[in-house]
Amino acid sequence: MRLRFGATVKVHANGYQVESYLPGVDRVAFSGTSMASPQVANLAGKTLTINPALTPTQVIDIIVSTSDTTSDGRRTLIPPRKALELVRQKKG
């Protein structure tokens, strides 16, 4: 699998070999944006659960500002716990 990077990619989520379930089948590992993007959407939803007053721009800023760059500098990974802790601090 070849990873793609570009100026429009602000954060990355694990999309490689994500364990999934198919009807009538046990577990299957899939890779790609179809596996990664739901993780970012899930994190956005959790931030709004903690603080429903956040705007879409604020949610994006929280996710991007708490992300961690990998040691090779090629990816910026979302850290759900770190992002949610920031939301809790800002709310309180």
Query: Is the pLDDT assigned to residue 7 strictly greater than 80?
Result: no
Mean of pLDDT values over 7-25: 83
pLDDT at 27: 87
Q: Classify burial at 11, counting beta carbons within 10 Å of its beta carbon; exposed 0-12, middle 13-18, buried 19 or more.
A: buried
| φ, ψ dihedrals at 30, nearest 5° | -115, 155
Using alpha carbons, select from 58, 57, 67, 66 the residue that is nearest to residue 86. 66
The model's pLDDT over 23-49, given as tens digits with 9 standing for 90+, comes to 888 888 988 888 888 889 999 999 999
Q: Where are the domains of the chain?
A: 37-91
pLDDT at 73: 84
For the packed helices 80-91 and 33-50, what is the interaxial angle rounded to 10 degrees? 20
pTM for this one?
Answer: 0.79
